Amino acid sequence: MSPMKSQNVSRLVLASGVGAVVAATALLYLPELRGGDGPPRRPGPVERAVDAARAGAPAALPDLTALVRDREGWLREHPDDGASWAVLGAAYAERGVRLGDVRDLPRAERALNRSLAELPAARGNVDAQLGLGALAAARGDWKAAKEWGERARKAAPRRWTVYPPLIEAYGGLGDRPAAWKAMERLEELHGGAVVRGLAAQTYRDRGWREDADATALDAAALAGTDAERAEAYARLGRFAWERGEPAEALERYGAALRSVPDHGPSLAGRARALAALGRTAEARREWRAAVARQPLPEYVLESGELAEALGADGEAQAAYERLRGGRWASGSTEVVRGLLDADHGDPAGAAARLRAAWTGGHRSAAVADALGWALHRAAGPGGSEEGLRYARRAVDEGPRSASYTYHLGEIERALGRTGPARRHLAEALRIHPSFSPLHAPRARTALAELGEPDPDAVPEDALEARPAGGRGAGVKSRAGAGN
């Protein structure tokens, strides 16, 4: 196993984290739901939500909502039930993340604090602590998420549900060794679709694409419910998309949507893939459906950039203003808003906010990439040496990303480093020729403007020392990496 490398928050990882918290808490009242010695009956929506939680899997949204209503009703009659307050708080947090509905987050906070009031942490209330960690992650507060997660782990080190949200928190802070150790421990404690999916994410972040895909296929094979299968095939779709294979991504997202027809990440993935395949009218319809179903900031930005690329400036500006003015249940908000303002608004303001996030400990590859890009855009035509340092770090420490590599190439081009710029712009387009409807054409134009290299010139790369620890573009698997 290798250290986890981090990018912007994966919705699949975040859903796994809060789903594991629901798993931990829902088990506390399982006998109440299953009680009785009569013959087995077909489970209702609340029982289905609990069954999903037992596997650490996401519940279907109607079942999750039924769970919320069930606990709300129970707590009206039993307000001193600290365990059920923890269940309710965790369910609110999961629903808020999956619907992108910020209104659920204060509900989650009140319920979880009430849980601790009824059953303090000192008396063993690990579940409320896990819920507060998941809530902090939903708000992008990775430091608080880490603190709550580590408290829970100290109290219950053998409880597997402690580890997915903790892995996510370490990723948000850019602490790859800690994320790696937590992932190793999780695999020692538990198996199944959720853990195999997180392992696939780890391999993907490392750059081991073949291992990531094989492990993600394992997770799909182990999926026991429609919701689990949708998550698994959405992950496979995202991996195919990142390899620059939009047709395969479309097929995999289709498999996810056959399991859960309104699965938000898969609707968004279909929209990306359709745009890359030139089916732009369908892509715009899919983006509208995705944003209506799960209004996450990254979806709003991507839908706006597709509209801008197609010349629908009014639609694009409406999306950008929605993103600026909205409140979001998403750990990726700071990065997405930074990229929005770097490209479509106030680069200096974006750089200042992202620098504050970096100083505050949010040191993932995603923050490094966004900060480097914002510094470059704020510097104007002359480029930014400081921005270059952050962009290099994102490429060296993050997943193999066409977007990160494009940003690095453009910063190098602005600084007059034509050799590295030409190499990185070409690499971005090799990784994914249609990585963005707005930025991929700009990458092709920039590469054409650089022209062919001078065969007699000394390569600029030979004059620069690259940062240690870079992964290298050719690493495809653990075997190829020499591990």
The tens digit of pLDDT for each residue in 63-94 reads 899 999 999 999 999 999 999 999 999 999 98
Answer whether residue 52 shows pLDDT above 50: yes
In this prediction, residue 29 carries a pLDDT of: 43
Q: What is the mean pLDDT of residues 275-295?
A: 95
Q: d(Cα 118, Cα 419) in Å, to the nearest integer?
A: 63
Q: What is the mean pLDDT of residues 224-231?
A: 88
The tens digit of pLDDT for each residue in 310-365 reads 999 999 999 999 999 988 878 888 999 999 999 998 999 999 999 999 999 999 99
Please state, rounded to an integer, the average pLDDT across all residues of the chain: 86
In this prediction, residue 475 carries a pLDDT of: 44
In this prediction, residue 209 carries a pLDDT of: 84
Q: d(Cα 169, Cα 206) in Å, to the nearest integer?
A: 17
Q: What is the mean pLDDT of residues 169-192?
A: 91
Q: How confident is the model at residue 55 (pLDDT cuts 50, 70, 90)?
A: low
In this prediction, residue 473 carries a pLDDT of: 42
Answer whether residue 239 shows pLDDT above 80: yes
Q: What is the rounded (10 degree) CA torsion for 339, 345, 346, 352?
A: -20
Among residues 208, 209, 136, the alpha carbon closest in space to that of 173 is found at 136
In this prediction, residue 40 carries a pLDDT of: 52
- pTM for the complete prediction? 0.84
Q: How confident is the model at residue 479 (pLDDT cuts 50, 70, 90)?
A: low
In this prediction, residue 227 carries a pLDDT of: 85
Q: d(Cα 73, Cα 326) in Å, to the nearest integer?
A: 31
Answer whether residue 301 shows pLDDT above 90: yes
Under 8 Å between Cβ of 415 and 257: no
Q: Which two tokens stand for residue 89?
A: 């708080």
The tens digit of pLDDT for each residue in 5-41 reads 333 333 344 444 444 455 444 444 443 444 445 555 5
Answer whether residue 467 shows pLDDT above 50: no
Q: How confident is the model at residue 2 (pLDDT cuts 50, 70, 90)?
A: very low
Q: How confident is the model at residue 455 (pLDDT cuts 50, 70, 90)?
A: low
- Please tell me the number of Cα atoms within 13 Å of 243 on its side-chain side: 20
Q: Could you identify the residue written with the tokens 């430091």?
A: 143
Alpha carbon 325 to chain centroid distance?
Answer: 22
The full 3-state SS of the chain, as one line of letters, equals: CCCCCCCCCCHHHHHHHHHHHHHHHHHHHHHHHHCCCCCCCCCCHHHHHHHHHHCCCCCCHHHHHHHHHHHHHHHHHCCCCHHHHHHHHHHHHHHHHHHCCCCHHHHHHHHHHHHHHHCCHHHCCHHHHHHHHHHHHHCCCHHHHHHHHHHHHHHCCCCHHHHHHHHHHHHHHCCHHHHHHHHHHHHHHCCHHHHHHHHHHHHHHHCCHHHHHHHHHHHHHHCCCHHHHHHHHHHHHHHHHHCCCHHHHHHHHHHHHHHCCCCHHHHHHHHHHHHHCCCHHHHHHHHHHHHHHCCCHHHHHHHHHHHHHCCCHHHHHHHHHHHHHCCCCCCCHHHHHHHHHHHHCCHHHHHHHHHHHHHCCCCCHHHHHHHHHHHHHHHHHHCCHHHHHHHHHHHHHCCCCHHHHHHHHHHHHHCCCHHHHHHHHHHHHHHCCCCCCCHHHHHHHHHHHHCCCCCCCCCHHHHCCCCCCCCCCCCCCHHHHCC
Q: What is the mean pLDDT of residues 115-128?
A: 94
Q: d(Cα 21, Cα 361) in Å, to the nearest integer?
A: 24
Report the first-to-last Cα separation within the chain, whole angstroms: 9
**What percentage of the chain reaches a pLDDT higher than 90?**
65
Q: Which amino acid is at 351?
A: A
